[in-house]
Amino acid sequence: TTCQEIGRYLIEINNRYKYHSLKLCKYLHYKINSDENYNKNPNWLEGYKTFSSRTNDICNEEIKNIPLDNVFTASITTAAVLLTSLNLFILYRFTPVKTLLHSRLQRKKINEINKIEKEKTECLENILEEVNENCEGSFHNIGYPSQRDT
């Protein structure tokens, strides 16, 4: 079980790694707070404290003193965004991705323009047909003033 795993880890820290206990306790703290197996049972942390007291409270003080570091999360997020942007810029600038992207966009733009032109042409053809149909049977007598010889 997870409790036995942590117990073995604490005993190993106590017996072998007294000089590096701070790093190992930080790892234990990380494991307890991040792994889903350890967070399922809320009473588990109390059992951990009891067991830790039997092993001379190896990691109890170290775990209490480890602050949560939200700056680390923010810096990782910022670094990831910057690296992604830089990679995309390098891909766009120095590889054939630029030409592929431009050719696709041009094709898409040309297809849209052709579609609009086709719709306009169809619309104009429909208007012309209606005008011609209305004008076929009617005659208009338009008079012009004659030119006078002066």
pLDDT digits (tens, 9 = 90+) for 1-57: 666 666 666 666 666 666 666 666 666 666 666 666 666 665 666 666 666 666 555
- Output the pLDDT for position 119: 81
Angle at Cα 124 formed by Cα 118 and Cα 129, nearest 5°? 125
Whether the pTM exceeds 0.75: the reply is no
Q: Are residues 95 and 126 in the same domain?
A: yes
**What average pLDDT score do residues 60-68 get?**
51
pLDDT value at 98 more than 80:
yes
How many folded domains does the chain comprise? Answer: 2
Q: Are residues 11 and 56 in the same domain?
A: yes
Average pLDDT score, the chain: 71
User: How many Å apart are CA 91 and CA 101, to the nearest integer?
Assistant: 11
Residues 6 or more apart from 73 whose CB is under 8 A from it? none
Secondary structure (3-state) at 146: coil
Domain membership of residue 140 (yes or no) is: no
Q: In terms of residue numbers, what domain contains 98?
A: 74-132
Q: Are residues 61 and 78 in the same domain?
A: no
User: How many Å apart are CA 54 and CA 51, to the nearest integer?
Assistant: 5
Domain membership of residue 90 (yes or no) is: yes
Rank 31-45, 60-74, 76-90, 105-119 by mean pLDDT and report only the highest. 76-90
Domain membership of residue 139 (yes or no) is: no
Backbone angles phi, psi at 57, to 5 degrees: 50, 55
Domain membership of residue 145 (yes or no) is: no
Q: Are residues 8 and 59 in the same domain?
A: yes
Domain membership of residue 143 (yes or no) is: no
